[in-house]
Amino acid sequence: MLVYILRRLILGISVIAAAITTTFILFFLGPNDPAGAMCGDKCTPERLELITQSLGLDKPVSEQFTQYASGLVVGTHTSVRTCDAPCFGWSYFQNRPVRDIVFEALPVTVSLVVGGAIAYTTVALIFGVLAARQRATWVDRVIVGGSQLLGSIPYFVIALLFFLYLMVFWEVIPRANWVPLTDNPWKWFTGLIGVWIFFGIVQSTGYIRYVRASMIDTQNQDYVRTARSKGLSEGTIAVKHSLRAAIAPVVTLVGLNIAGELSGTVITESIFGLPGMGRTAILAFNTGDLPIISGVVLMGCFFVVIINLVVDLLYGVVDPRVKLT
C-alpha cells in the first residue's frame, strides 16, 4: 500500500509540474499584451514601458518562468510586491496576489461541489438500487425513463428554469447566496441548499443508470446467490453484498466529476450568482487577466491529482476484490 501511494504521489507531482510548464507557455508566452490592456488605447510609450517593467514582462523568458515556478513553492517577495506561497502570480487588473483571489473563491466552489456531490450520490443510490430491485416493473421504467428525459435537456436550460421559477418567481426554494460557513453556518446552509437540491435532481440522472446496471450485474454473481441460499433477506443482500461491489465504478465517476467541478463550475456559479472559481475565471477572461485564469487552472489540476489518488485508495476499501500493489 505504501509503495503504491508513493508511486502515485510521484506521478501526481510530475503531472503538476507538466501543468505548471504548460500553463506558463499558454498564458504568458502566448499572443497577448497585458501591459497594453492595462494601459488602454491612449497609452504613451513611456507609460507602456513602465507597466511592462513593473509586471516583469521585460525579463528573459527563463527568468520569468523561474520566478513563476519558484513562487508556487516559496512565494515571491520583492521591494514592490509580496506574495506568499503558493503564489500564482499578480493580478494585472485587481493589483493584488492571485493567491488571495483564488482562495476567496475556493470555499464557495468547495461548498457547492461537496454538498452537491452528497446530494446527487444519495439520490442516485436510492433510485438506482430501487430500479434494480424492481427490474422490468413500472417502477423501473419510470425511474430509468425519467432520468433519461431529464438528462437529455441541456444543463443550462434546466439551471435557468430552476433558478427563475423555483427561486425567483415562486420562491419555493431559498435563493442562492454565499455566506461563509465561519460567519453564519445557518445562512451558509440556507444559501446553498437550493443549489444542492438542483444538483441532486439533475446530476444524479446518469448515476442512477450506472448504479442500476452495476446492481443488476452483481446480483447475478456467485457470492450473491450463495448469500441468498443461506436465507439472508433481500435487503441485507442488497446493502452488504451487492451494493458494496456495485458502488466501486460509481465512486470513480463521482470522484472524477468532483475533480472537474472543483476546477470551476462555470455555468452553475454564473446562473446562481455565486462567487466561486468558475465565475472568477470568467470575469478574468473578460478582462484578459491571465494570471487569475492560470491560477484557477493550476488549482483545478491539483484537485484532479489529489482526488484521483483518493478515489484509487477508496477502491480498495469499497471493493474487497481490488488489491492495491
How do residues 202-249 score in pLDDT, each as one tens digit? 989 989 998 898 888 887 777 777 777 777 777 777 767 677 777 777
In a domain, 33, yes or no: yes
Q: What residue numbers bound the domain in which 258 lies?
A: 99-318
User: What string of DSSP letters covers 84-105?
Assistant: PSS---B-TTT-SBHHHHHHHH
120 domain-assigned = yes
Confidence label for 53 from pLDDT (cuts 50, 70 and 90): confident
Question: Are residues 142 and 47 part of one domain?
Answer: no
Contact (CB, 8 A) for 272 and 195: yes
At 47 the pLDDT is: 75
Number of domains in the chain: 2
Give me the pLDDT at residue 78, please: 65
Region 129-154 average pLDDT:
91
Does 36 share its domain with 167? no
Give the mean pLDDT of 156-164: 92
Residue 225 CA to residue 203 CA, distance in Å, equals 33
Q: Is there a contact between 270 and 279 (Cβ–Cβ < 8 Å)?
A: yes
The reply to whether 16 and 156 lie within a common domain is no
Asked whether residue 60 falls in the same domain as residue 134, the answer is: no
Q: pLDDT band for 106, please (50, 70, 90 cuts).
A: very high
Is 37 in the same domain as 132?
no
